[in-house]
Structure 1
Amino acid sequence: MATTGVGSAVEVAGITLEYTSLEHALKALGMDQQTLEKHMATSAAWPFPGHLDGWKVSHNAIRFDMENMLAAIVKTKAQVDGGKPLAEWQVEAFKVVMGDLHHTVHKHHDHEEEIFFPWMESRFKVPEKMGTDHKTIMSLLDKCRELTGSLKSSNNAEAQSVLSDLHTVFTQLRHLMRQHLEEEEIVGLPLLRKHFNAKELAKVEKKIIASMKPSDVAWVLRPLSPAGKKETMTRLNIPGLVQRLVFLPAIAKDDCTIIHAYKELAAGERLPLPGRKKGFMCFSA
């Protein structure tokens, strides 16, 4: 699909287009803009707009992590380039956040390829590129994980070289990932909503959620406010008691591990851990 560049970003039906022109999206859909917006709006078949769909919510989690990772890489690279030794806590933090990103993206792709896309294919042809992009994305992500795994605090010259390579590869990954997510949202989502309804989607989402660990659900909810987390869990038909006993502790742990590691890397210094939240300690899950 044609690219328009970040400088000409537009929003259509709650989807931000930075890399894909609306004209090419409409051509791929075989729709005009009015029809696209109709499918993405609330209706009798869809009680929520397309941009609140669980598919889009999970994409937002990937974007959230990608931006945090970029901030972490840029800050750490600047410190090391400026002569500050790479600390052991930074090495370990990079391993934690990159390992988490690798796991969550891989899991997301598995859900699409093994559950979501086959279900969609029962009624319409899923654009081939939605699946073929995954191989390139994971190859770049594998390289990023390999690079972070090679970081050492004892050799600043080596760390400088590794961080330079990591910045280059991750920038490529981020660009491709954002293009990929955008195409799925502006093409895949309208097609899904055209051919299915919310009740049918709920059955598939239930199957996906059942395959996820509490930490995986916490990841999907990561970018959201506390109210947004609760609202999304409720819309995904997660019972209130399960939210409180299973997922809120997982969210608290996520705040104190992954999100905290991102914050420390972006700050370039150690930070105090978050305190108790709604009765749950950081490592209660």
Structure 2
Amino acid sequence: MTPSRPEGHVPDGGDVDPSGSTAGPDRVPSGTTRRAVLAAAAGAIGSIGVAACSAAGDGGAGEASAARSSAGATSAAGTGPTGSATATAGGTSSTSAAPAKGRDAVLAAAGPDISSGPRDVPAVALTFHGAGVPARTTAVLEIARAHDAHLTVFAVGQWLQANPGLGKAILAAGHDLGNHTWSHQPMRHLSASEADAEVGKGAAQVAAVRGTAGLLFRPSGTPTSTPVIRAAARTAGYLRCISYDVDPQDYLDPGAAAVESRTLAAVRAGSIVSLHLGHEGTVAALPGILAGLRSRGLRAVTVTELLA
């Protein structure tokens, strides 16, 4: 049975405004060219690299720990995609004192999709698809503060444009802010030009809030990338695509108890968890999830810190 459309989650049809308003999304015209997208986004993004987001084939995912050796040359040189000093993904965080070049080494080197971090580190990254009612994001930020947790928000560009103050609050609290495309289209079904527009406009909006597009990108409508998605990510300067290994399907609104139990049943050291800001059950489940992680000796950290 097909579930009703959950609030704050954009289904494959993309007919829900991720900003949380009643207006329809600003769809990217199918005729949009790569040249037009790059010209529109260039001012906000600046000079960015074009190395591949993922070398894996369709649906290929890998753990970040396996990519550390491939990141070594970039880390040693302290350079990012452009050959200049790497950007600090997710803004500044008081939880990590590592220099930017070390912290971003995995993200700044080409490799397969990242579905988890190293399994020998007692930490977990809770990631949120950024869309939905602003008050719920504010509640999530307050819960995270109370539990001394740090999160990662992959913001939908339209939502971030409508709520720039939330983006700044996310960064100010030491959380990561990444790109989850412009309007949350089903990326596996987009043409190359449409995919370029989705990633490029999303990157420009992230840059408008945090100063740079950063290094964190998660495709919409799919847990894994495809060649078209990776090419679009590469064009926007993202060398890795962030996936996840724990999905409690909170976007189907199964209730807070189910979201909490499903998450804690599947999570382990190094996990990347997929959650959604726009769902009340997710907000209600978050304190229990954080308490459960703490009882196992697992810290809630940003994706950037998990991969450091």
**Scaled by the length of structure 2, what TM-score is found?**
0.26
Structure with more helix by fraction: 1
Bigger Rg, which one: 1
Instruction: Considering fraction of residues, name the structure with more strand.
Output: 2
User: Higher relative contact order by CA 8 Å / sep ≥ 6: 1 or 2?
Assistant: 2
